[in-house]
Structure 1
Amino acid sequence: METTISATHLGKTARTATNAMFFLCGISFASWASRIPDMKELLQLSDAALGTVLFAMPIGSLTALPIAGVLIHKFGSRNITFISTLFYFIALPLLGMAKSSIALAIALFFFGFGSDMLNIAMNVQAVGVEKILNRSIMSSFHAVFSVGFMIGAALGGFIAKQGITPFQHLVAIGSLDLMIALITYRFLLQQDHKSAEDQPLFAIPDKSLIILGIICFCGMLCEGAMADWSVLYYKQVLNNPNGYTTAGFTAFSVLMVVGRVFGDKILQNLGLQKTLLTNCLLVFLGMSIAIFIQHPVSVVIGFGITGLGLSTIVPLIYSQAGHSKTMAAGVALAAISTLGIAGFLIGPVMIGYLSEFFSLKIALMSLIILGLLGSYLTTKIPVQE
Structure 2
Amino acid sequence: MDATLTTTGSAAARGRWALAVVFLVNGFLTGSWAPQIPVFVARLGISEFTLGLLILLFGLGAVGAMSVTGYLISRFGSRDVTRGLSVVASFTLLFVSVAPNVPLAAVAMVLFGGLIGGMDVAMNANAVVVERKLSRAIMSSSHGFWSLGGFIGGGLGGLFIQQFGSVWHGVAVTIVAIAAVVFAIGRLVGEERPEKHEHKSFSLPRNPAIYLIGMMALFSMVPEGAVLDWAALYLRQEMGADIATAGFAFAAFSGIMAIMRFLGDGVRNRFGSVRTLRLSALVAAIGIFAASIATTPWMAIAAFAFAGFGVANIVPILFSAAGNQTGLSSGAGMSVVTTMGYSGILVAPSAIGFVAQRTGFSIVFMTVSCLLLVVCVMAGLAHRAEFASGTPKE
Task: Tell me, in whole angstroms, the C-alpha distance in 1 between the residues paired with 2:171 and 2:9.
Answer: 37
Task: Tell me, in whole angstroms, the C-alpha distance in 1 between the residues paired with 2:142 and 2:285.
Answer: 25
RMSD of aligned alpha carbons: 3.7
Task: Tell me, in whole angstroms, the C-alpha distance in 2 between the residues paired with 1:369 and 1:53.
Answer: 32
**TM-score, with normalisation over the residues of structure 1?**
0.82
What amino acid maps onto 1:373 in structure 2? V
Task: Tell me, in whole angstroms, the C-alpha distance in 2 between the residues paired with 1:37 and 1:231.
Answer: 19
Task: Tell me, in whole angstroms, the C-alpha distance in 2 between the residues paired with 1:290 and 1:163.
Answer: 39
| CA displacement at 1:10 relative to structure 2 | 0.5
Task: Tell me, in whole angstroms, the C-alpha distance in 1 between the residues paired with 2:162 and 2:241.
Answer: 20
Asked whether the equivalents of residues 246 and 297 of structure 2 are also in contact (C-alpha less than 8 Å), the reply is: no
| CA displacement at 1:315 relative to structure 2 | 1.2
CA gap of 1:99–1:281, structure 2 versus 1, over 3 A, is farther
CA gap of 1:289–1:151, structure 2 versus 1, over 3 A, is farther
What amino acid maps onto 2:7 in structure 1? S
Question: Unaligned 5+ residue runs, structure 2?
Answer: 385-392
Asked whether the equivalents of residues 98 and 104 of structure 1 are also in contact (C-alpha less than 8 Å), the reply is: yes
Asked whether the equivalents of residues 28 and 149 of structure 1 are also in contact (C-alpha less than 8 Å), the reply is: yes
| CA displacement at 1:18 relative to structure 2 | 0.2
Aligned match of 1:200: 198
Task: Tell me, in whole angstroms, the C-alpha distance in 1 between the residues paired with 2:103 and 2:3.
Answer: 57
Per-residue Cα deviation, 1:338-375 (whole angstroms, up to 9, x for no partner) = 21122122123323444566666665555333223323
Aligned match of 2:111: 110
- 1:377 equivalent in alignment to 2:375: no
| CA displacement at 1:194 relative to structure 2 | 5.3
Task: Tell me, in whole angstroms, the C-alpha distance in 1 between the residues paired with 2:160 and 2:247.
Answer: 10
Aligned match of 1:217: 218
SS in 1 for 2:186: helix
What amino acid maps onto 1:45 in structure 2? E
CA gap of 1:179–1:364, structure 2 versus 1, over 3 A, is farther
Task: Tell me, in whole angstroms, the C-alpha distance in 2 between the residues paired with 1:100 and 1:267.
Answer: 48
What amino acid maps onto 1:200 in structure 2? E
**TM-score, with normalisation over the residues of structure 2?**
0.80
CA gap of 1:272–1:359, structure 2 versus 1, over 3 A, is same
Aligned match of 1:178: 178
Asked whether the equivalents of residues 283 and 368 of structure 1 are also in contact (C-alpha less than 8 Å), the reply is: yes
| CA displacement at 1:118 relative to structure 2 | 0.8
SS in 1 for 2:219: helix
CA gap of 1:313–1:200, structure 2 versus 1, over 3 A, is same
Task: Tell me, in whole angstroms, the C-alpha distance in 1 between the residues paired with 2:365 and 2:53.
Answer: 17
Matches within 5 A, 1:108-187: 108-155=109-156, 159=159, 169=169, 171-187=171-187
Asked whether the equivalents of residues 87 and 110 of structure 1 are also in contact (C-alpha less than 8 Å), the reply is: no
What amino acid maps onto 1:177 in structure 2? A
Per-residue Cα deviation, 1:294-336 (whole angstroms, up to 9, x for no partner) = 6543343233223222211111111122222211111111122
Aligned match of 1:267: 268
Task: Tell me, in whole angstroms, the C-alpha distance in 2 between the residues paired with 1:194 and 1:322.
Answer: 16
Asked whether the equivalents of residues 234 and 296 of structure 1 are also in contact (C-alpha less than 8 Å), the reply is: yes
Alignment: residue pair count: 379
CA gap of 1:293–1:53, structure 2 versus 1, over 3 A, is farther
Aligned match of 2:327: 326
Task: Tell me, in whole angstroms, the C-alpha distance in 1 between the residues paired with 2:264 and 2:249.
Answer: 22
Asked whether the equivalents of residues 30 and 227 of structure 1 are also in contact (C-alpha less than 8 Å), the reply is: no
Task: Tell me, in whole angstroms, the C-alpha distance in 2 between the residues paired with 1:239 and 1:233.
Answer: 9
Aligned match of 2:388: none
Question: Unaligned 5+ residue runs, structure 1?
Answer: none
Task: Tell me, in whole angstroms, the C-alpha distance in 2 between the residues paired with 1:38 and 1:110.
Answer: 19
Asked whether the equivalents of residues 27 and 150 of structure 1 are also in contact (C-alpha less than 8 Å), the reply is: yes
Per-residue Cα deviation, 1:51-88 (whole angstroms, up to 9, x for no partner) = 55432222112211332012122233233223323454
Aligned match of 2:349: 348
Which moves more between the two structures, 304-313 or 3-12? 304-313
The structure with more radius of gyration: 2
| CA displacement at 1:15 relative to structure 2 | 0.9
CA gap of 1:372–1:43, structure 2 versus 1, over 3 A, is farther
Per-residue Cα deviation, 1:158-204 (whole angstroms, up to 9, x for no partner) = 74996886665555334322221122121112x32559x84233563
Asked whether the equivalents of residues 233 and 360 of structure 1 are also in contact (C-alpha less than 8 Å), the reply is: yes
Task: Tell me, in whole angstroms, the C-alpha distance in 2 between the residues paired with 1:367 and 1:352.
Answer: 13
What amino acid maps onto 1:57 in structure 2? F
Matches within 5 A, 1:287-302: 287-293=288-294, 295-302=296-303
Identity %: 27
Task: Tell me, in whole angstroms, the C-alpha distance in 1 between the residues paired with 2:211 and 2:341.
Answer: 11
Matches within 5 A, 1:42-121: 43-45=46-48, 52-96=53-97, 105-121=106-122
Per-residue Cα deviation, 1:258-304 (whole angstroms, up to 9, x for no partner) = 22223223324443333222222222233234444365433432332
CA gap of 1:118–1:154, structure 2 versus 1, over 3 A, is same
| CA displacement at 1:250 relative to structure 2 | 3.0
